[in-house]
């Protein structure tokens, strides 16, 4: 049986990260070295959504790409990150494209931003500018325009198959039927799990922008109800009301809905996961809406300037969501101004984990570092 002192020394050594190596140059003498503790983290990361296009049925913006993964990190190391901001919607009354969303990275992992929705000055939906060697976000929707031309949705771009990465779907096509049959419509932007829908021609008054493609639920163990609906978030959790079901609260990456010249009730809505609604998605509320910030959703496509402003709307900024054991604490360093959710949650989480949530500040990308101790 080993002496008690020797057993205690080994236990303390493990807790403090001390390892003993045999040094052959010293004829078998033993020397100690400090090995920093490590921790396993679970991460959901979103690129930013693209902005919606404008004029007679602007296309919806595509969602940013999603990546879900685990990493083993050292406690004595600062890990760099950058969270993409959403692409701008086009405000021009004479038509124009939105802009693509920016990419997001953490440590050695990254995902691209969503493609922009097309406007009348460019008949094809745009692909996202994104980082190479990763799956990009979804393509933006095509636009319809006067006189009766319709654009195709932007194609999705994917890298080689990667089980961690979701996205790369295509935007929906625009349709054009003329004012007598319902007018021009924009295609919906692609979501993380589905293509955007084509614009519809139900008849006047009833043309419809295409719905945005659907987003994707994050893993339920990473998003416990006790955290999402706990005291840290009295009203909203990353831009969505906490009164919504848990499945809705953990869904990200919806495509933006396409705009319409006349509109049809119940059509042109953004995809689940924070996609913005297109112009005339609901005739009682005709203005397009932006993608939900922190969800990476595409912005809604615009429409005519009357009876209310029909500008294309911006995409939602991305997010880095990190879950880690509650024996550790994360410290985020971000130059001012920092995003409203660039925070760590180490109390009232309701489970055995701590969380860090980092978003862009809505004026540009948010870059910084995080270290765990």
Confidence of residue 39 (pLDDT cuts 50, 70, 90): very high
**Three-state SS letters, 93-159:** CCCECCCCCCCEEECCEEECCCCCCCCCCCCCCCCCCCCCCCCCCCCCCCCEECCCEECCCCCCCCC
Determine the Cα–Cα distance for residues 302 and 159; give it in Å rounded to an integer: 31
Please say if the pLDDT value at position 133 is more than 90.
no
pLDDT score at 265: 74
Determine the Cα–Cα distance for residues 297 and 255; give it in Å rounded to an integer: 6
pLDDT digits (tens, 9 = 90+) for 277-334: 998 877 666 789 999 999 999 999 988 766 566 789 999 999 999 999 999 999 999 8
Whether the CA torsion 77, 355, 338, 247 is positive or negative: it is positive
Between 346 and 9, residue with greater pLDDT: 346
310 CB burial (10 A radius; 0-12, 13-18, 19+): buried
Determine the Cα–Cα distance for residues 141 and 175; give it in Å rounded to an integer: 11
Lowest mean pLDDT among 143-157, 206-220, 224-238: 143-157
Determine the Cα–Cα distance for residues 99 and 267; give it in Å rounded to an integer: 23
How does 270-287 read in b/e, with b if 16+ C-beta sit within 10 Å? bbbbbbbbbbbbbbeebb
pLDDT score at 168: 87
Query: What average pLDDT does the segment 339-355 reach?
Result: 88
Q: Are 31 and 20 in contact (CB under 8 A)?
A: yes
Please say if the pLDDT value at position 249 is more than 90.
yes
Q: Are 171 and 117 in contact (CB under 8 A)?
A: yes
Q: Give which of 95, 99, 73 is closest to 84, Cα–Cα.
A: 99
Query: What average pLDDT does the segment 239-266 reach?
Result: 92
Q: Give which of 188, 211, 177, 208 is closest to 117, Cα–Cα.
A: 188
* Terminal Cα distance for the chain, rounded: 36
pLDDT score at 6: 41
Lowest mean pLDDT among 49-58, 247-256, 257-266: 257-266
Q: In whole angstroms, how large is the CA radius of gyration of the chain?
A: 24
Q: What are phi and psi of 14, to 5 degrees?
A: -65, -45
pLDDT digits (tens, 9 = 90+) for 164-209: 999 989 999 888 766 556 678 889 999 999 999 998 877 666 678 8
pTM of the model as a whole:
0.86
Domain boundaries, the chain: 4-35, 39-373
327 CB burial (10 A radius; 0-12, 13-18, 19+): exposed
Distance from chain centroid for Cα 358: 12
Determine the Cα–Cα distance for residues 116 and 309; give it in Å rounded to an integer: 20
Please say if the pLDDT value at position 144 is more than 70.
yes
pLDDT score at 145: 72
Lowest mean pLDDT among 72-86, 152-166, 243-257: 152-166
pLDDT digits (tens, 9 = 90+) for 92-123: 666 678 888 999 999 999 999 998 888 766 55
How far, in Å, are 6, 18, 23, 28, 35 from residue 31 at the CA level?
16, 10, 7, 10, 13
Average pLDDT of the residues of the chain? 82
pLDDT score at 4: 39
């Amino acid at each position: 049986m080993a002496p008690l002192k020797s057993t205690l020394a080994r236990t303390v050594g493990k807790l403090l990260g001390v390892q003993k190596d045999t040094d052959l140059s010293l004829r078998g003498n033993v020397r100690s070295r400090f090995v920093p503790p490590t921790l396993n983290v679970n991460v959901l990361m979103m690129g930013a959504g693209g902005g919606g296009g404008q004029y007679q049925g602007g296309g919806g913006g595509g969602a940013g790409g999603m990546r879900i993964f685990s990493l083993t990190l050292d406690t004595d190391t600062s890990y760099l990150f950058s969270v993409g901001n959403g692409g701008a919607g086009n405000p021009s009354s004479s038509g124009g494209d939105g802009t693509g969303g920016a990419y997001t990275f953490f440590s050695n992992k990254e995902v691209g931003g969503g493609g922009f929705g097309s406007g009348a000055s460019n008949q094809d939906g745009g692909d996202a500018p994104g980082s190479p060697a990763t799956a990009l976000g979804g393509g933006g929707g095509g636009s319809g325009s006067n006189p009766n031309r319709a654009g195709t949705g932007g194609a999705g771009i994917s890298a080689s198959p990667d089980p961690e990465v979701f996205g790369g779907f295509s935007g929906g096509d625009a349709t054009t039927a003329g004012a007598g049959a319902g007018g021009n419509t924009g295609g919906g932007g692609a979501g993380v799990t589905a293509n955007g829908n084509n614009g519809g021609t139900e008849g006047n008054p009833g043309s419809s922008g295409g719905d945005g493609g659907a987003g994707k639920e994050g893993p339920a163990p990473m998003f416990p109800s006790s955290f999402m609906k706990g005291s840290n978030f009295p009203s909203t959790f990353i831009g969505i009301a906490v009164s919504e079901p848990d499945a809705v609260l953990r869904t990200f990456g919806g495509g933006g809905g396409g705009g319409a010249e006349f509109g049809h009730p119940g059509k042109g809505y953004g995809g689940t996961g924070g996609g913005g609604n297109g112009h005339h998605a609901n005739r009682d509320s005709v203005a397009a809406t932006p993608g939900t910030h922190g969800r990476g959703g595409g912005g809604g496509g615009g429409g005519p300037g009357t009876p209310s402003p029909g500008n294309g709307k911006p995409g939602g900024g991305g997010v880095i969501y990190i879950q880690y054991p509650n024996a550790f604490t994360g410290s985020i360093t971000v130059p001012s101004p920092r995003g409203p959710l660039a925070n760590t949650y180490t109390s009232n989480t309701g489970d055995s984990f701590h969380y860090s949530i980092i978003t862009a500040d809505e004026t540009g990308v948010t870059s910084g570092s995080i270290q765990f101790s």
